[in-house]
Structure 1
Amino acid sequence: MGSTTDRDRTDATSIFDLDLPVLPADIRETDRHEASALYRSLAKEHWIAQNVFGYTVLRYDDVAAILRDKRWHNAVGKLPEMMGIDDPFFTDRPPSILAAEGDVHTRLRRLVAKAFSPREADKLRPFMREVVNELVDAVADAGRADIAVDICEPYPIPIICELLGAPRSDWQLFSRWAEDVLRIFNGTAAAELDVIKQAQIELNEYVIDMISQRRDDPRDDLITQLIAAEEEGDRLSTEELVMMVNAVIVGGTDTTRNQLGCAISVFLEHPDQWAMLAEQPELAKNAVEECMRYFGAIRGTGRFASEDIVYRDVLFPAGTFVFPSLASANHDDGVAVGDVETFDITREPVAGRMQMGFGSGIHYCLGASLARAELQEALPILAQRMPDLTAAGDIRWKPSTTAIFGPDHLPVTFRT
């Protein structure tokens, strides 16, 4: 999309002058089903609503359009500023691929795309199955488990370590680093800067050492692939390599573990579909897309206007924050054949209207193929090895200040 002209600005109505529905300040505290109903009700009135930080985009087509418009920049790079963090350690670092824009983002994406292809993710599927089965083995005889703690929490780390080429002896180390580094995305980050910084420093030192080893001794792992990545004489610097490994850990840990937990919570409400998945594991691909559409761990994302932008005859002045609601978009009419409020793992995705859990546009999730593979391998194995899965108490959800939503505790029983 092109730049906004003076004529566009003259003909458009400022977003500040519109009479918009207003989302409650405590919307994140609201029960998921109630929140979904509220979003759907508001979406019938308008495509956008006001929130305490800016504006929430409610409808699928508008969410997709804004995510695909390069003038809307990813707000993740603004997080320190939004949280009042002024420590140069967090504010002066080079942009991550998660936040980079323009030519910088295009270059990084071009150099690393092959390493994150579906083909590369598929190579790890046997190991994914091994990890899931090992986790189930530990609770199988008891016939009960805390799915969030026993399965979801530990599942992604061994796979990330295998991807990077880190040894099993360092799995717990990576788990701690991932947990602490990811605190930067929580609403409590400003109070936890020392913990976040220490974990980031330790992780960076570890990765720099790994890079040095792989330069001398190349192996079949992601770091070696990234070191070798080259196009027209261009290569990633050591600093960029460290950034990419950080992006893998940030993007590939909490997202997967929380999405798996959200998916299982939905299956607990639909035991017939759990049994169906056990009997028909070939439904795994559709099941993952339906789980992410119906209850995604990432409920929204943030963008800010890099310049004055006119969209739908509305002027968004430079610096305006909008928050495309992925959850609302995924429940928009037309995203699914039939009733969008019905959970159905046999449902085929609608062509051209895929679920929005991985975003869209230039910041479409780089690790989508890996995440899909992890979920597609885990869910059928869990369904087969944990038949008659039943909640054994209330699910305790993560606090509203947590960036990526999911269960903290999910107690279940199952038939042994």
Structure 2
Amino acid sequence: MQVTETLNEGLKRGYSITVTAAELEEKVNAKLAEAQPTIEMKGFRKGKVPMALLKKQFGKSVLGEAMQESIDGAMNEHFEASGDKPAMQPDVKMTNEDWEEGSDVEVSLNYECLPEVPETDFSKIKLEKLVAKIEESDVDEALGNLAESAQNFEDRKDGEKAEDGDQVVINFLGKVDGEAFEGGAADDYPLVLGSNSFIPGFEEQLVGAKAGDDIEVNVKFPDEYGAEHLAGKDAVFECKINAVKAPAAAEINDELAQKFGAEDLADLRKQITERLEAEYGNAARMVMKRNLMDELAKAVSFELPPTLVENEAKQIAHQLWHEENPDVQGHDHPEIETTDEHQDLAERRVRLGLLLAEVGQKQEITVTDQELQQAAMQQAQQYPGQERQFFEFLQQNEQMQQQMRAPIFEDKVVDYIIEQSDVSEKETTKEGLQKAVEELEAE
């Protein structure tokens, strides 16, 4: 077997591999000899079929296996000897397409190898950790939001008009072309004005109504309305206003706390404080992680596999195009050209990805089954009632598991680098932390 280098340019490598006819024949004979004791054929005892007959009967199929094994073996030997790690699946092609049995097999092997990632002294990286103190006013605000979410509605005084946000209790009967339609009537229906839970234009016509009023609401069903017989039709709803109620926030007390699973108000305040601490901590880490990535991007430089960068740039361009054209769901659209901005972002992502992968490998950082299971449980919450099906799908889908492991692995490597870095704390306010996060999202 001969391996000849044909390309060595940057990270691009090319080789010509020749497997001689003699090597192939030797491998075929060895495979047939290995199988001979188990083969039965009419007219011969088990294991006594002549080699010549075996070769005639099974030679071609065994030759294909021997050819593939020889090429795979040559590739493995090459990568082991050279130390090269392909950035993507190598391109392997048979170059003598007019090959005939008894001839040498010639194969071209082309790939881009992963670069050597230089050692980095992470202790020289300076980072700031934002620390936002939780004020009593923050807890009070959160309590107020809970009370508002648990609000009740209380009757307005006689004669008071309904305002946006009020609840009106109504009887209604809907008609199209003078005829009542199925599902268009109800009694004592509580409708919050401004909730947009009814047909567009319906709720606005009840603003200003009083208890006891009879109001005729004229609307048009949307063209894309679910019921085809009503879609795009004009309708009239005869409405009777039974009551007008104003929103009233729940009182902040032990009773409210118990509604949210706390023992009392003090316990609820404690839980809110802990939740805010976690939220502030996550936000601060998000900001510090971005700053770390910026510092690493400036501190570390090495050659990148061109195809990896090209594919990443295309993916970025494709994703951004769909964000700008949300109405296009599929991929039936013009070819999307990549720009210098896409290229720069792709180079940053590939470089940082290779760096984190190298650090994780050297430090033997792994994702445990328990960590994967915890992530799966969190993701399963997005599919209420279908959790079991989600877990079954995950167990059978190795690619999905890898997609879930990747961000966990990245976070663990980032945590390791942060531990090695020079980190100082900087006090800030909730507003300051929010601004820092908003600036990240705006980039």
Report the TM-score, using the length of structure 2 for normalisation.
0.22
The higher radius of gyration belongs to: 2
Report the TM-score, using the length of structure 1 for normalisation.
0.23
Structure with the larger strand share: 2
Structure with the larger helix share: 1
